[in-house]
Amino acid sequence: MPTPLIDQTSYNTLQDISNRKQALREAIKDDESRIQEKWQQLFKAPAMFSNNAPASKRIVSVLSNGWKLVDGFILGWKLYHRFKAKKR
């Protein structure tokens, strides 16, 4: 759970400040580790690039990516013709 950025607590001693500083350091360290974990998950190589991936998984992945390309091209073509017709 994230620590609030602004703490309305008043500090009466140097020990209070030191404790708060230590708590903030720990929170930052935890946040950095969570960010690093999410970053690694985000840029993890797909299973089809794995050397031990079965051929069926590679074929399905290639077909899926190919279909995405075709779908994107068709969408672009439709949008191009729709907005080209509006200019006339």
pLDDT grade, residue 2 (50/70/90)? low
pTM above 0.75, yes or no: no
The average pLDDT across 44-65 equals 81
Residue 58 vs residues 41, 43, 45, 47: alpha-carbon distances, Å: 20, 19, 13, 8
Residue 53 vs residues 39, 48, 62, 83: alpha-carbon distances, Å: 23, 6, 13, 43
What residue segments make up the domains of the chain, in order of their start?
Answer: 7-44, 47-88
pLDDT digits (tens, 9 = 90+) for 78-87: 999 998 866 5
The average pLDDT across 26-43 equals 94
Show Cβ contacts of residue 10 under 8 Å, excluding neighbours closer than 6 positions.
Answer: none
Structure-model confidence comparison of residues 4 and 57, the more confident one:
57
User: Which residue bears the tokens 């969570």?
Assistant: 34
- What whole-number distance in Å separates Cα of residue 62 and Cα of residue 43? 19
